[in-house]
Amino acid sequence: MSVACRRRRSQSLSSLGRDDDGIKEIKGETWEIMEKNLQRLIGNIYRMHRYLLPTLEVEERDEFGKIMKIDKNFPHFETALQNLSKYLHRHHDSKCVVLVDEYDAPMEVAYNYGYYNKALEFLGMLFSSLLKDNSHLHKALVVGVFRIAKTGFLSGLNNLCVNSMASRPFADKFGFAKEEVELLLHRHGVNRPIDIVRLWYNGYRSGNRHHQYALFNPWSVIHLCLKGGLVPYWSDTEGTSRIMKLLPGTSSKFKNDVLQLMCKNAIDVTIGDNIIYETLTTNNDHYIWVLLCDAGYITRNDEGKLIIPNYECWMEWVKWTMPSLCNTKTISTFFCELLMIKGDTGDTNEIKHIENIEGTLQNAIKQFLEFRGSMHGLSEGFYQDVIVSLLFPFDQYNVHSQRDEEKGDEEKGDEEKGDEEKGDEEKGDEEKEEFSIYILPTVRAGFPADGCAMKLKMAAENETVIDASDRAIYQFSMDNDDSKFPDNVVTVWLYAIGFKGEEVHVRMWKKTRKEGEAS
């Protein structure tokens, strides 16, 4: 927080915006602790302006001294900053400019620890007295993470102009552009390809449809420059704990949408512009989407739909839904296992390899079902989504999931359809639809490259999980997947995977293709 006058450049930002003593650093597990920290902050601001003491009246000087000393018996800390603006105006003959960074941070802490109403009363008075109808105020810039509704916290502020990421005036100021990131990486000696950094930390859209910007997360880029490692940095921020508390109470539709997001799909959800903290305990899906969007864990794509912006945020979603798998090495190991990539992250012993894949899938299914809160409605599509949610496409590979009516009814003749109807009676309704996943190398993978194909089947009530994997093998015999793979793929790892509840059974074998076979 900064309180400064427009003139006297030497006095500009005579303040408190530093990371070690700003309002965004105010914390406390109880209201009593937070209140003391807020009083200490205000006392620090006063001490920085102690040069005003000779200009004050006797009563003003007495109050000024009590605030500097953080006298616990002084009853008016809530209006202390308004009085300070008066003293500054009088001394410098210039109205004040107030800068507040992350004004909502104390309310975030108060909500998480259960004393929101007490903090609201104090901070509401603090900001209202300073910013509303204050004749000593020229202008204020208040920056926050969450678009908190004006009711309560900032109630009644006059002439308030709100600029969000969707607003044009400051749309390019919410993050770093690609050119800025390239310059920062160069100056800090961080030798990371910009395309890989983009996958990790880019993906945010700001502005309107006429003026749009693709932005990198500035917090994460700065930490990348300082530490050099491609790891999730955004997970250390304060908003995560509240979101984790709210997610279990969301609706089944919300949780199904989460799985689609984790599969890198876009979802169409209408969300508003602000939230009211008091409503969050009602487990209202709408407000939780607003929180997630404001906190940067989802963003809008070019079509206005919601997506997870990058790998860093995707890892946070994995932590919320499948916590034991939330590790970059665990995720990359699973990817390498599927492609039988040798090295530290893959095990080329086939028996161990299959056990690893089964273990990872069983763990993922069990944890997501716990997050989902129900075994109802399990389908091959659900299992397909869980697998895809664990496969983030990196630079040299793309992940494709496919759900096709077997052979396509519109392409079948009457005789073929008649044969299929007979087969359906034997194979069951689940054979009518094919659920496949493909991991395909890009041209950057070079030649030769490996690919992967998976067929998924869910066991019927009278079947075992092994029976289901047998039917997946049968599906491979019926399909020709070679056309799915580019010419640089020589080895294809095939997986027939059966599911029943939380059980998983994997069959795996290798197919060697000739160069150019796909064409």
36 vs 80: CA distance, rounded Å: 14
Residues 29 and 99 reside in one and the same domain: yes
Find the mean pLDDT for residues 399-404: 83
Domain annotation covers residue 107: yes
Amino acid at the residue 400: H
How confident is the model at residue 244, as a pLDDT? 80
Q: Which of 185, 200, 234 is the last residue of a domain?
A: 234
Find the mean pLDDT for residues 163-180: 86
For the cut 50, the answer to whether the pLDDT of residue 266 exceeds it is: yes
**Residue 146 exposed, middle or buried by CB count within 10 Å (0-12, 13-18, 19+):** buried
Task: Give residue 61's domain range.
Answer: 2-142
Q: Which two tokens stand for residue 471?
A: 């039917």
Domain annotation covers residue 275: yes
For the cut 90, the answer to whether the pLDDT of residue 353 exceeds it is: no
Residues 355 and 281 reside in one and the same domain: no
Find the mean pLDDT for residues 219-248: 83
Residues 186 and 309 reside in one and the same domain: no
Summary mean pLDDT of the chain: 82
Share of the chain above pLDDT 70, in %: 81
Share of the chain above pLDDT 90, in %: 43
Please state which of the ranges 142-151, 452-461, 496-505 shows the lowest mean pLDDT: 142-151
Which of 248, 245, 256, 499 is CA-nearest to residue 365?
499
How confident is the model at residue 156, as a pLDDT? 62
Dihedrals phi, psi of 489, to nearest 5 degrees: -85, 120
Task: Categorize the per-residue pLDDT at 15 as very low, low, confident or very high, splitting at 50, 70 and 90.
Answer: very low
Domain annotation covers residue 513: no
Q: What is the pLDDT of residues 468-495, one digit of tens each?
A: 999 999 999 888 777 788 888 888 999 9
Which of 496, 452, 444 is CA-nearest to residue 334?
452
Residues 289 and 341 reside in one and the same domain: no
**Three-state SS at 110:** helix
188 vs 454: CA distance, rounded Å: 43
Residues 98 and 26 reside in one and the same domain: yes
Domain annotation covers residue 137: yes
Looking at per-residue confidence, does 431 or 5 come out higher?
5
Spatial CB neighbours of 499, under 8 Å, sequence gap ≥ 6: 365, 378, 380, 383, 456, 457, 458, 459, 465, 468, 505
Find the mean pLDDT for residues 313-334: 85
Looking at per-residue confidence, does 250 or 423 come out higher?
250
Domain annotation covers residue 150: no
Task: Categorize the per-residue pLDDT at 345 as very low, low, confident or very high, splitting at 50, 70 and 90.
Answer: very low
Q: What is the pLDDT of residues 149-159, one digit of tens each?
A: 544 566 667 67
For the cut 60, the answer to whether the pLDDT of residue 17 exceeds it is: no
Find the mean pLDDT for residues 116-129: 89
Task: Categorize the per-residue pLDDT at 217 as very low, low, confident or very high, splitting at 50, 70 and 90.
Answer: very high
Q: What is the pLDDT of residues 429-451, one digit of tens each?
A: 444 578 999 998 886 656 678 89
For 312: left if phi > 0, alpha if psi spans -120 to 50, otherwise beta; the answer is alpha
**Three-state SS at 397:** strand
Find the mean pLDDT for residues 172-190: 95
Residues 183 and 268 reside in one and the same domain: no
Residues 296 and 352 reside in one and the same domain: no
Q: Which two tokens stand for residue 174?
A: 């919410």
Domain annotation covers residue 51: yes
How confident is the model at residue 449, as a pLDDT? 82
Looking at per-residue confidence, does 25 or 321 come out higher?
321
For the cut 70, the answer to whether the pLDDT of residue 233 exceeds it is: yes
Q: Which of 350, 373, 396 is the last residue of a domain?
A: 373
What's the half-sphere exposure (Cβ side, CA atoms, 13 Å) at 413?
2
Residues 109 and 226 reside in one and the same domain: no
445 vs 157: CA distance, rounded Å: 57
For 202: left if phi > 0, alpha if psi spans -120 to 50, otherwise beta; the answer is beta
Residues 219 and 253 reside in one and the same domain: no
For the cut 50, the answer to whether the pLDDT of residue 452 exceeds it is: yes
For the cut 70, the answer to whether the pLDDT of residue 11 exceeds it is: no
Residues 297 and 321 reside in one and the same domain: yes
Please state which of the ranges 129-138, 176-185, 188-197, 411-420 shows the lowest mean pLDDT: 411-420
Domain annotation covers residue 244: no
Which of 175, 164, 168 is CA-nearest to residue 216?
175
Structurally, how many domains does the chain consist of? Answer: 4
Q: Spell out a b/e string for 432-449, using b for 16 or more CB atoms within 10 Å of the CB, else e.
A: eebbbbbbbbeeebeeeb
Q: Which two tokens stand for residue 321?
A: 């839904």
Quickly list H helices, 135-284.
Answer: 178-187, 194-201, 218-227, 239-246, 252-262
For the cut 60, the answer to whether the pLDDT of residue 85 exceeds it is: yes
Residues 29 and 138 reside in one and the same domain: yes
Residues 108 and 34 reside in one and the same domain: yes
Q: Which of 269, 295, 325 is the last residue of a domain?
A: 325
Domain annotation covers residue 390: no
